[in-house]
Structure 1
Amino acid sequence: MLRLRSRVPSHILSSPSTSPGPPLRRLLSAAAPVLFPNPGFVVEDYLVSTCGLTRAQSIKASAKLSHLKSPAKPDAVLAFLVGLGLSGDDVAAVVAKDPKFLCSGVERTLAPVVAGLSGLGLSRSEVALLVSLAPDNFRCRPIVSKLRYCLPLFGSSENLLRAARHDASILSLRPERTAKPNIAFLQECGLSACDIAKLCGCVPRLLITNLERVREMVTLADGLGVPRGSGMFRHALQAVAFFSDKKMAATVDQLKKTLRWSDAEVRIALPKAPFVLRKPKESLQRRSEFLISEVGFEPAYIAHRPIMLCYSIEGRLRPRYYVVKFLKENGLLKRNPSYFTIFKMGEKLFVEKYICPHKEAAPYLVEDYADACRGEVPSRLMSA
């Protein structure tokens, strides 16, 4: 442990006036660990002065550390964390999230876990990130076997950590009890390994929920009219993930009111763009008003082309609408493309077809389009 202490970065151990993180100055001491109760040791004070917690945090955390009688084990854990590369602020966050982490055995538990994760190919920074994301799972040896199972599923440690950032509870999964049965069922539904990896990356809870709940999600996705095995089925599952029947009905009802759709139009739109179910009401309202009131689309027309509801108004719909409207009204287009065609094409193609050819006839068009994409539609386009 003295070896670990010697590796503590000096910038973390500097005085509070020059360091953004907690001082951790106790770790400077090279004295032998305290093996007997220290009558001067007060957990709350230690959490504040050494770990960097606020007084309120320390009061809450100390309730779980009332058995500590000396700083020996916490000092060893702090040295270990700093040795992994965690900053003072990171250490404080870990302790506040999981005070019992300070009671972990470094040689018995933490060091073997780090060795096991390194053996799976995780870098030191990735191991440190895992500590920050789920300290309560990290201080348990089974995390190594759980990640051994998860890594091939997600395809890379980067994908796995991205999912863990979204929902750290996946690090507590039980492969045999939930993950494996759920994945087997999704495969039966026609999802490929790549589809499942992407789905679990967006909805990590799929790995830890019970199989019956996953079956309910599949039933809801079936109800949208998306065929199993199709490329859209994964998106449908993601859209209805953890919806109850009641929430599903309420969401569909909201879509009808916001987008002025009939039941038939909902049935047309959702198989094509199930992710519309996850769009906030305000977002859909703004797009609906723009597409119907400004562009002049009928609700039924939008229902047949619901992908438009997923495009950014400021970054895509409005700038392109005003540019093409300007070109049309000034006789600069040989053909009269539909606005849907304009909206769905890639950015590079749009610029090549509708911006670059008109630099001489409309010298300000490049600048005006750039301004419009930043949310500042120039008067030259607005008045067209």
Structure 2
Amino acid sequence: MAGQKENGFSKSQIAELVQKRPSILLSDPEKTLLPKIEFFLQWTGVAKANVLRSIARDPTFLTRSVENQLIPIYNYLKDIIGAEKVATLVRRGSWIFNRTFAKKVIPNVDFLRALGIPNSFIELILFNFPEAIGQKHDQFREIVAEVKEMGFDPLKSTFVLAFHAPFGEGNKFLWAHCYETYTKWGWSKDDIYMAFKKHPHCMLLSETKISGVLSYLATKMGCESRIIARHPHLLFYSLEKRIIPRCSVVHLLSLKGLVKKDKSLNTILCPAVASSVEKLWFWKIAK
């Protein structure tokens, strides 16, 4: 315990370490802790407080060999995503530094490269969705094949989003929950897959978000919910900051006969905030 305190861990972090890895009480801090802390400080430039927090969250860092695992993994990642993003992964406490890296991540990256996936997409997966690329290689190949069968082009960025949406950590549950929510709103299987192909992350939204947007557009704008399947990007706009304010303006304009009631939702919601279109609407009301 004294060794952990000397290395800078707080009492709560020590308690977290002991709870997750009791064997640390029997280890020699000079051999177990210090080399790993020094590695992350010297190689990644991450502040000591962040390093200690990451180690406390994931003590498996302490089981890694600096020479045989941490340094090779760091160099591999740095060559793909750059030193700054590797440092960010360390601050996040990413599991990507674990011992299955050579058995899972590297073969999976090699497989993506063999398919001709651009390096920029591989970088995106490693940095933003590392859990998706850390699966067993056979399972990973099956997932990639399934995404390709859905019609996604590996050379387009939607392939990465489609790959992550149903198969990332915890995402299968979200996918099923979203599917159920959309069906409650009258969407068919074809509607759901059409929306998914246009914006894969529409299958990672909460029920509250989906129902909030669809309910407002249906009740206040008279829009059939299935129409949104053709424009799933509309689901990502803020209900309070964009959808309600803009639709309220259009509703008032339609009552005054200044705009058609069936005005396209894309026309209403897609222009940038404070656009000239929005200002013109308010000007018309003022007249």
Letter in 1 for 2:51: L
Q: Structure 1: how far apart are the matches of 2:11 and 2:263?
A: 61
Question: 50, 54, 64: which is aligned to 1:129?
Answer: 50
Q: Structure 1: how far apart are the matches of 2:128 and 2:17?
A: 36
Partners of 1:269 and 1:305 within 8 A in 2: yes
C-alpha change, 1:245 and 1:195, in structure 2 (3 Å) is: closer
Letter in 2 for 1:64: S
Partners of 1:235 and 1:274 within 8 A in 2: yes
Match of 1:320 in 2: 246
Partners of 1:324 and 1:354 within 8 A in 2: no
Q: Secondary structure at the match of 1:64?
A: helix
Runs of 5+ consecutive residues of structure 2 not aligned to the other structure? none
Q: Does 1:159 align with 2:85?
A: yes
Q: Structure 2: how far apart are the matches of 1:106 and 1:55?
A: 13
Q: Structure 2: how far apart are the matches of 1:269 and 1:59?
A: 44
Runs of 5+ consecutive residues of structure 1 not aligned to the other structure? 1-42, 68-99, 364-384
In the superposition, the TM-score normalised over structure 2's length comes to: 0.77
Match of 2:23 in 1: 64
Higher RCO by CA contacts (8 Å cutoff, separation 6 or greater): 2
* Percent identity for Structure 1 against Structure 2: 18
Q: Does 1:180 align with 2:106?
A: yes
Partners of 2:192 and 2:229 within 8 A in 1: yes
Q: Does 1:271 align with 2:211?
A: no
Q: Does 1:354 align with 2:275?
A: no
Bigger helix fraction: 2
Letter in 1 for 2:61: N
Partners of 1:265 and 1:300 within 8 A in 2: yes
Q: How much does 1:102 deviate?
A: 3.4
Letter in 1 for 2:83: S
Match of 2:234 in 1: 308
Letter in 1 for 2:53: S
Q: How many residues align?
A: 279
Q: Does 1:102 align with 2:29?
A: yes
Q: Secondary structure at the match of 2:286?
A: coil
Letter in 2 for 1:104: K
C-alpha change, 1:331 and 1:162, in structure 2 (3 Å) is: farther
Match of 1:203 in 2: 129
C-alpha distance after superposition, 1:272-325 (max 9, x if no partner)? 121111111222111221122222111331111111112221122111111222
Q: Structure 2: how far apart are the matches of 1:180 and 1:203?
A: 15
Q: Structure 1: how far apart are the matches of 2:25 and 2:157?
A: 55
Q: Structure 2: how far apart are the matches of 1:281 and 1:334?
A: 31
C-alpha change, 1:332 and 1:179, in structure 2 (3 Å) is: same
Partners of 1:170 and 1:207 within 8 A in 2: no
Letter in 1 for 2:277: K
C-alpha change, 1:123 and 1:55, in structure 2 (3 Å) is: closer
Partners of 1:133 and 1:165 within 8 A in 2: yes
Q: How much does 1:189 deviate?
A: 3.8
Q: Structure 2: how far apart are the matches of 1:51 and 1:163?
A: 20
Letter in 1 for 2:45: S
Partners of 2:250 and 2:281 within 8 A in 1: no
Q: 1:1-384, aligned counterparts within 5 Å? A: 43=1, 52-53=10-11, 57=15, 60=18, 64=23, 67=26, 102-104=29-31, 109-110=35-36, 113=39, 117=43, 122-123=44-45, 125=47, 129-134=50-55, 136-137=60-61, 140-141=65-66, 142-154=69-81, 156-166=82-92, 168-172=94-98, 174-242=100-168, 250-251=176-177, 253-332=179-258, 337-348=263-274, 351-355=275-279, 358-359=282-283, 362=286
Partners of 2:175 and 2:204 within 8 A in 1: no
Q: Structure 2: how far apart are the matches of 1:192 and 1:227?
A: 12
Letter in 2 for 1:132: R
RMSD: 4.0
Q: How much does 1:271 deviate?
A: 0.9
Q: Structure 2: how far apart are the matches of 1:244 and 1:65?
A: 30
Q: Secondary structure at the match of 1:104?
A: helix
Q: Structure 2: how far apart are the matches of 1:146 and 1:219?
A: 27
Q: How much does 1:131 deviate?
A: 4.0
C-alpha distance after superposition, 1:87-140 (max 9, x if no partner)? xxxxxxxxxxxxx58353688x358625751xxxx3353x65334313642674
Partners of 2:178 and 2:203 within 8 A in 1: yes
